Amino acid sequence: MFVDEVDIHVTAGDGGRGCLSFHREKLAPRGGPDGGDGGQGGSVYLAASPHLNTLVSYRFHPTYTAQRGAHGEGSNRTGRNGSDLVLQVPVGTEAFETRDGSTIPIADLREAGQRVTIARGGRGGRGNQHFASSTNQAPRRTELGLPGESLALRLQLKLLADVGLVGFPNVGKSTLISRISAARPKIANYPFTTLSPNLGVVSLSDERSFVVADIPGLVSGAHKGLGLGDRFLRHLERTRVLLHIVDVSSLTGREPNDDFDAICAELTQFSTTRSDEKLGGSLSNKHQIVVPNKVDALEQPDRLDRLREHARRLGLKVYPVSAVTGQGIDAMLEAVWAAFEATPLNQPSHPQPSITPL
């Protein structure tokens, strides 16, 4: 499981001080006490937002403080309450208080819109108006505001991939994820460079972002344990979109269409052997986008043409790219976003024609 984790410090606002004041007026020189109360300090909340997928923004700002309450004033005026601070976090975020080396769970934000108080603002102090009595009509007593709560917080989010990269080894999956996100997996010109999945966050403009998973390459017979096997495919079960990466350069010595069919067959095999399909539809039914890679090294354009034609017959969109030069990447990412938006979570997209296992 991939975990996004940040440590932050939150402090609620202190309460404002109560005021010491006496009423003064031209014809009433000895007016009574009229010191107002201090305002309440702002509290800190966590709120679950469906529009966020990661905790990445908290890495850059580790401390958060809500506004303090204003002090009370004369003429019985209460100080203004401090504004609350609402920290938006992705749905699925868990919050822990870290104190003296121990970690205490304090909130689990499972539903969009859910809001929990993390640190309470301090109560405002009372002004001297409250302390008048029959024996003391000119009290000089006031209260200080109470301090706002302050705590060290650990936020954790179990990242789930929204988009999965599938393809043969060495087709450029890791190169692609390193191009489109901050993930820096090992890249090398031999098969099975990637031995465990990598996640990367892709940020498009206007707060559009999604999480991409790069998994070890598949080979024909992966479902029988060939290569590294197909067990990594379970990391893609909750994704909404699959990017099927095919190396169209001549370097592979293989026919792109055969590669494509072999991977589809593995997806189908994996789906049929897994009974647990409630997570988001079987892999072979997921929305698939075909991404021919290494077009910078395309010496035989007919290899790409054949793949285009093959995908067209299956009703799949094709976005050729070069993960090395960046050619075609922007258009591909826009298409991924559109597919991602159009595919509701936990529902298989429109069925893709499945290819019988080889």
Ligand X SMILES: Nc1nc2c(ncn2[C@@H]2O[C@H](COP(=O)(O)OP(=O)(O)OP(=O)(O)O)[C@@H](O)[C@H]2O)c(=O)[nH]1
Contact 122, 147 (CB under 8 A): yes
Shortest distance, CB of residue 224 to ligand X, whole angstroms? Answer: 18
17 binds, among Mg ion, ligand X, none (CB under 5 to 8 A by kind): none
Residues 6+ apart with CB under 8 A from 167: 173, 217, 218, 244, 245, 246, 247, 259, 263
- Separation between Cα atoms, residue 308 and residue 334, nearest integer Å: 19
Q: Which is nearer to ligand X, 12 or 218 (CB)?
A: 218
Q: Is 351 helix (H, G, I), strand (E, B) or coil?
A: coil
The reply on whether position 181 binds Mg ion by CB under 5 A is no
- Angle at which helices 173-180 and 329-342 pack, to 10 degrees? 90
Strand partners of residue 157:
4, 93
Query: Which 283-322 residues touch ligand X, going by CB under 6 A?
Result: 293-294, 296-297, 322
Shortest distance, CB of residue 307 to ligand X, whole angstroms? Answer: 15
Q: Which is nearer to ligand X, 8 or 263 (CB)?
A: 263
- Separation between Cα atoms, residue 108 and residue 105, nearest integer Å: 8
Q: What are φ and ψ of residue 260, in 5° steps? A: -60, -50
Shortest distance, CB of residue 354 to ligand X, whole angstroms? Answer: 23
**Selected binder of Mg ion within 78, 174, 282, 322 (CB under 5 A):** 174
Closest by Cα among 78, 11, 9 to 40: 78
Query: Which 322-341 residues touch ligand X, going by CB under 6 A?
Result: 322-324
Query: Which 82-101 residues touch ligand X, going by CB under 6 A?
Result: none
Q: From 5-13, 173-181, 254-262, 304-312, give the range in contact with Mg ion by CB under 5 A.
A: 173-181
Query: Which 175-194 residues touch ligand X, going by CB under 6 A?
Result: 175, 187-189, 191-194
Going by the DSSP 8-state scheme, the letter that residue 70 receives in this structure is: P
95's tokens: 């919050």
The reply on whether position 11 binds Mg ion by CB under 5 A is no
Kindly report the number of other CB atoms within 10 A of residue 57's CB atom.
12
Shortest distance, CB of residue 328 to ligand X, whole angstroms? Answer: 10
By CB under 6 A, name the binding residues for ligand X.
Answer: 169-175, 187-189, 191-194, 216-217, 293-294, 296-297, 322-324
By CB under 5 A, name the binding residues for Mg ion.
Answer: 174, 193-194
